[in-house]
């Protein structure tokens, strides 16, 4: 499963809250850093940034914990 970070961020902003993406990223920042990402690249993702399986697992777990929501299939398969 690979998801464009910009699509995930847009969905969070549109469907949860304007700060939801930031909150998710900060919640899993240690895991994202261990995978080679830095805060500024994830906080303001480019069109080319694709989140892999490990990034998605961490972010989806945080989203379930913080917001009790799941990312819809249309965002995952975009």
- Count: domains in the chain: 1
Work out the pLDDT band at 76, boundaries 50, 70, 90.
Answer: confident
Q: What's the rounded Cα separation, in Å, for the pair 12 and 24?
A: 9
Q: What's the rounded Cα separation, in Å, for the pair 62 and 48?
A: 23
pTM metric for this prediction: 0.90
Tokens, residue 27? 């919640």
**Closest of 6, 18, 51, 46 to residue 32, by C-alpha:** 51
Res 61: pLDDT: 96
Model confidence at 16: pLDDT above 70: yes
The boundaries of the domain holding residue 18 are 3-76
Share of the chain above pLDDT 90, in %: 86
Work out the pLDDT band at 74, boundaries 50, 70, 90.
Answer: confident
Give the pLDDT confidence of 23-45 residue by residue, as tens digits: 999 999 999 999 999 999 999 99
Cα-based angle 24, 25, 28 (whole degrees, multiple of 5) = 90
């Amino acid at each position: 499963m690979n998801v464009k970070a910009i699509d995930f961020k847009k969905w969070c902003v549109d469907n949860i809250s304007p700060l939801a993406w930031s909150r998710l990223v900060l919640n899993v920042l240690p895991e994202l850093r261990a995978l080679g990402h830095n805060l500024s690249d994830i906080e303001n993702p480019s069109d080319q940034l694709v989140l892999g399986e490990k990034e998605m697992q961490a972010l989806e777990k945080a989203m379930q914990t913080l917001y009790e929501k799941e990312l819809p299939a249309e965002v995952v398969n975009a």
